[in-house]
Amino acid sequence: MVVNNHPLANVSVNVKDQDEANLQGVFVEIVGTEITCTTGSGGGCTLQEVPLGNISYTAVKDGYVTGNGTFTVTSNSGTLEITLTEEE
């Protein structure tokens, strides 16, 4: 049996548009993993069991420019704030 001793954290995500309105239905993924969440009506979701360290993420919603970025996950990471811009 293999035991995974790598520290993990849950990361709260909040996604808004350029007008600061919460966005529902945004698919957020940690690049290179199967860790995902989709935002609810309040624009939030939680990425669970994320490895500590620097991660890259992608945020996708129809009608919006795909959001990409990096975030440092610590045992007390706080909230990953993402802003998406509407496509023209």
pTM of the model: 0.90
Distance of alpha carbon 54 from alpha carbon 44, whole angstroms: 21
Distance of alpha carbon 53 from alpha carbon 70, whole angstroms: 10
Q: Are 64 and 51 in contact (CB under 8 A)?
A: no
pLDDT in tens, 13-67: 999 999 999 999 999 999 999 999 999 999 999 999 999 999 999 999 999 999 9
19 backbone dihedrals φ, ψ, rounded to 5°: -100, 15
Give domain 8-79's CATH superfamily. Carboxypeptidase-like, regulatory domain (2.60.40.1120)
Distance of alpha carbon 19 from alpha carbon 31, whole angstroms: 27
